[in-house]
Structures are given as structure tokens and as C-alpha cells.
Amino acid sequence: MDCQECKKRPAAVHLTKIINNKKSEMHLCEQCAKEKGDVSANFSFHDLLSGLLNYDNNKTNVFEQKQCQQCGMTFQQFYKVGKLGCADCYQYFGEQLDHILRKVQGKLGHTGKIPKRIAGDISVKRQISQLRQQLQNSIYEERFEEAAAFRDQIKALEKQLEQ
Amino acid sequence: MEKYIDKGLSDWMQQDGPESDVVLSSRVRLARNIKGLPFAPLMTDKATKQLIDQARNAMNQQYLQELGSFELLKLKDISPLDRKILVEKHLISPKLDSEYMQTAVVLKDDEAANVMLNEEDHMRIQCIFPGFQLRTSYDLANQIDDSLEATIDYAFDEKLGYLTSCLTNVGTGLRASVMVHIPALVITGQVKRLLSAIQRVGLAVRGYYGEGSEAVGNLFQISNQITLGYSEDEILENLEDVIKQVIEHERDARKHVLAHMKINIEDKIYRSLGILLYARAISGQEAMERISDVRLGIDLGMLKGISANILKELMVITGPGYLQKLANRELSSDEWDSKRAKIIRERLANIQIDK
Ligand SMILES: [Zn+2]
Ligand SMILES: [Zn+2]
């Protein structure tokens, strides 16, 4: 099969995009794919993004003004490239990203591996939030002795975090 | 470098693994980024140097050396043809090659693992094993991850997990994929239904692409799509459960084909074998299709005297880069086709037909 762009070289890059359940395919040689640059390489995710945001013009302006204070990437740039500029972008675009992440990933909240050197603190925090949940349940069910025990455990863990 | 090129076949192509009548290989990838360095779209020369320095430092630590022998290669020091072969061998991605001025790869000498540096993420740890061995593959990737992490601070967030340049990888950064050969499901027309069911449970299916656009050689790559909100274990388990079903369905379909369509299937297999044994020129795509038929013939016991791994092997050694390396010069596309036909004829020379 020949490249759709130049119709000379054999197609080596095959892209599939699905918009509104309609599937279309693109077949490009390596050179043409390269020339199309980031846009073609990312275009399926990019299209997905635009579908997911699906906002009106007013909202666009609000989003576009957001900028990562660490790397300087704007939301508009992110939207164009489909990729974030640095780890801090996750904070600066937090609200919008949560919205997209929920759709891309289904649910939020990492429950997997934690780097060993920082695992201690995080697992304590995970424990605290579990205990808080249990504390609320026991108050709700009027089991106050149990609630007091949970409260003490939380306090102890919080102290441990402060050290 | 030369050893990776000269050794045409990685272990995953030469060896059988569990359930290898259906599952050709199991691959796991972990996407990781270094804290404080910009992500791919904003990567600078200075940050690239820091990335490679940190990776080199991590490689010199005992933790990693205990896992095997690793070598760091900058892509710009590798010839274009050799890079192409590394792509055909799945040791680097086409993207890593296309940005070769700024990228590097850490290769494990048995080729079961590699770490791509400065791809879409700073580090992509990849492991590949023959047959259905997702856990083995993940365990090695996980150990390499642990060793790197001993000296490298990863970009990590409590709520979002490992932070990646693209939102589709955030969380575990884990992409697990299994390559399956399912000719009987294709022949019996069940493949579409099965694949759409797989997609509905949140997995992605891709065909193995030859020169054309269609999935060739009845090969499909099935992988997890979601990386956040589930643990590594849950992700692997979900994929494993689905693959187990695919294996069962394919085996049932093969039995069905033998019982009810024997003449059709024999005809198909022997015709393909005939073409491969006598053709003087063959395109990459046709070669893949015919070899898939021959592989089915081997699996069904009709063809003997040759390893079932012929399919995995020929996927690599009939690639343009490898063929060119064998010829030791630039080849035109006609020459590729005749060279390819010749290699296949030689490779199939010992085949025995069950009459
Ligand atoms: Zn082209
Ligand atoms: Zn940023």
C-alpha cells in the first residue's frame, strides 16, 4: 500500500481515529508522517481530547488562559499537542484534567505501586483516610467507643507524619 | 551494539512459552518520568543530558547489575540501518528512532528487557517474553523499576500515581500487551464479535500491521487501556482473564475447523505452503499471511519438521532492515521481495508434509 500523502513511498505508519463512532484510517510513509509532525502522531488522542472537552467558546477562553507556572505551558498548547509539559502541569490544570481523566481513565485515585523511598508517608496517609471513613461510619451508627478508638489511631498516625 | 544486530532473533522469538499455540509473546511497559525535568514536548538538550546521566548512574548501581548485564547506547551513535533493525526486533520504538538525535536505549544482553530514554516519557521500561508470561514479564520490569528508583526520583503524585506526559498513561504507567495468533477465529468468522467484546471490557485491540492497513497474519495485540484507578495486579489479572478466554475460543475454533471444514483448511494451508516453497518474489504482507497458514498447519499437526516459532522469526527477518543487512547494501523493493522469498524457501526447506 502506498502513502496517502505522497503516493510514492510505501505506507509505514497507520493511524486510526474514531470520532462519534466513525472510524477513519490514515496510511503514511515515515517521511510524510514525520512532516505532519506531532499533530499526526497524536491526532487520535487529540481528537479524543476535543471530543471530551466539548465545551462552548466561553469556556474555551477560561481554559486557555490557564498556564503552568513551572514550565509555562498553556492549556491551549496542551490541547494542541495532547501532552503535558511537566509534572507540575497536573497541578495547574488540575480541575480541567480531572474532568478529562475521569473520561479517559474511568476513575481517579492511584491504588497501585508507590516508589519505595516515599512509600512510608503515603501509606500512612492512605491509612488515615481509611480510618476517617471508619470513624464517620461508627459515629453515624452511634458506636461511640469504637469512634474514640479510631480517633486516637488517627491522631497517632498524624503525629507520626509530622515527625 | 553488533551483538544485538547480528543475533537476528531474540529469545522471545526462538523459544516457546506457555500456551504458545495461541499466544506468541507477552510484553509489559512501565512509563516513568524524572522529577524536576520537563516532559517530552519541552525537553531541552541540558535536561536530556541530565536524563542520560541519571540513567547511566542508575545502571552502575549494584541493584541493576544483579538483574543482568545492561548496556546504554545513544541512538545517534547507531547507524540508520542498525536502528531500523532494532525497531524490527521491537527493541526500540519507531518514535525513539525518529528522534534519534536526543534519545538512548538501555539494552539487557538477552534482549528480554530494555529501557528507552527520552521517548514519550523520560523512561520506558519494557520486557518481553515468549508465550503467555505476563507475570514474568511484569516481575522483571518491576525489578528494573525498583533498581532505577533507588537512585532516581520519579515524578509521582499521591492521588494520580506516576505522572506521564500523556494522560493515557498516568497512574501505574503500565501497559501490558499480549500478541495472539487466532487464525481459526478469523476463518470461522468469530473474530469481529470477539474483538468487539474485548473492547467493551476496556481493553484495546490492534492488528499487527504489515505493509498494508489490514491486520495481517491473523495476529492481534491485546492490551489494557486504563492505567489509573486499578492496581498493577488488577490490570494484569483482567487482561489475563480475557486472554485465557481467547485461548479457549481459538482452540475450540481449531477443533471445529478440523471437524467440519477439514478440506477447506487443508487446501488453504497447503496452497500457502506451496506458494512459500516455490515463489520467487513475495511481499511482506503476503508472506505474513501465508506463514500464518503454515503456522496453523504446524499447530494442527499437518506440517512437521519445522519449529512453530517460524512465524515470530520471519516477522523479524523478512523486515526491510534485516533483509538489507543480510544483503549488505541498499535494496530496491523488487529486490526485497525476491530476497524475502529466498529466505523463506531456505527456512522451510526441511518441512515434512503429513500425507
Ligand atoms: Zn508519503
Ligand atoms: Zn508544566
What does the domain layout of chain A look like in residue ranges?
1-39, 45-105, 116-162
Residue A61 has pLDDT above 60, yes or no: no
**What's the rounded mean pLDDT across residues A151-162?**
89
Q: What is the three-class DSSP state of B192?
A: helix
**Angstroms from A143 CA to nearest CA on chain B:** 31
Q: How far A61 CA sits from the closest chain B CA (Å)?
A: 22
Contact (Cβ atoms closer than 8 angstroms) between residue B245 and residue B193: no
* Ligand 2 centroid distance, CA of A156 (Å): 36
Chain A partners within 8 Å of B35 (Cβ)? 87
pLDDT at B21 > cutoff 50: yes
From the CA of A100, how many Å to the nearest CA of chain B?
Answer: 8
ipTM for the complex?
0.85
pLDDT tens by residue, B264-308: 999 999 999 999 999 999 988 899 899 999 999 999 999 998 888
Is B179 part of any known ligand binding site?
Answer: yes
On the 0-12 / 13-18 / 19+ scale of CB atoms within 10 A, A81 is buried
Asked whether the beta carbons of residue A71 and residue B174 sit closer than 8 angstroms, the reply is no
pLDDT at site A59: 54
Q: Find the closest chain B residue to A44 by CA distance.
A: B168
Name B207's bridge partners.
Answer: B220
Does an H or E element contain B205, and which?
Answer: strand B203-209
Q: Residue A82 has what pLDDT? A: 87
pTM (2 decimals)?
0.82
Residue A117 CA to residue A130 CA, distance in Å, equals 22
The grid cell for B104 is 538512548
- Please tell me the distance between residue A151's alpha carbon and the centre of ligand 1 in angstroms: 66
Cβ neighbours for A149, distance < 8 A, ≥ 6 positions apart: none
Amino acid letter for position A108: L
A20-45 core/surface letters (b: 16 or more CB in 10 A; e: else):
eeeeeebbbbbebbeebeeebbbebb
Extended strands (E) in B118-169: 123-130, 156-157, 161-162
pLDDT reading at B148 higher than 60: yes
Considering chain B, what is the average pLDDT of its residues? 90
pLDDT score, position A18: 47
Mean pLDDT, residues B105-124: 95
As a whole-number percent, the residues of chain A with pLDDT over 70 amount to 70
Instruction: Among A34, A45, A81, select the one facing B98 at the smallest CB separation.
Output: A34
The CA-to-CA distance between both ends of chain A, in Å, stands at: 65
Distance A38 CA to ligand 2 centre (A): 18
One-character DSSP codes across B217-280 = EEEEEEEE---SSS-HHHHHHHHHHHHHHHHHHHHHHHHHHHHHSHHHHHHHHHHHHHHHHH-S
Strand B23-32 to A22-28 pairing: unpaired
Confidence class for position B247, pLDDT limits 50, 70, 90: very high
Burial tier of B349 (Cβ tally within 10 Å: 0-12, 13-18, 19+): exposed
Enumerate domains of chain B plus CATH numbers: 2-252 (3.30.590.10), 262-353 (no CATH)
% of chain B surpassing 70 pLDDT: 96
CA-CA distance, A81 to A26, in Å (whole number)?
19
Beta bridge partners of B31: B124
* Rounded distance from Cα A27 to ligand 1 centre (Å): 9
Q: Report in angstroms the alpha-carbon separations of B173 from A23, A82, B123, B124, B196.
A: 27, 17, 11, 9, 25
Distance from CA of A157 to the nearest CA of B (A): 17
B295, B287 in Cβ contact below 8 A? no
Maximum CA pair distance of chain B?
66
Beta-carbon contacts of residue A116 (< 8 Å; ≥ 6 apart): B146, B149, B150
In whole angstroms, give the CA distance from residue B106 to residue B96.
12
Contacts of B125 in chain A (CB under 8 A): none
Distance from the CA of B168 to the center of ligand 2, in angstroms?
17
Residues A106, B202: C-beta atoms closer than 8 Å: yes
Is the pLDDT score of A81 beyond 50? yes
Distances (CA, A) of A126 to A109, A119, A154, B291: 11, 10, 11, 52
Give the separation between CA B225 and CA B201, rounded to whole angstroms. 10
Rg of the Cα atoms in chain A? 24
Q: What share of chain A is helix, strand, coil (3-state, %, to 5)?
A: 60, 10, 30
Cross-chain CB nearest to A110 (options B153, B159, B235) = B159
Q: Which ligand is nearest to the CA of A83?
A: 2
pLDDT recorded at residue A152? 93
3-class SS at A44? helix
pLDDT in tens, A3-44: 777 777 777 666 655 444 455 667 777 677 666 643 334 345
* Residue with the larger pLDDT of the pair B74 and A61: B74
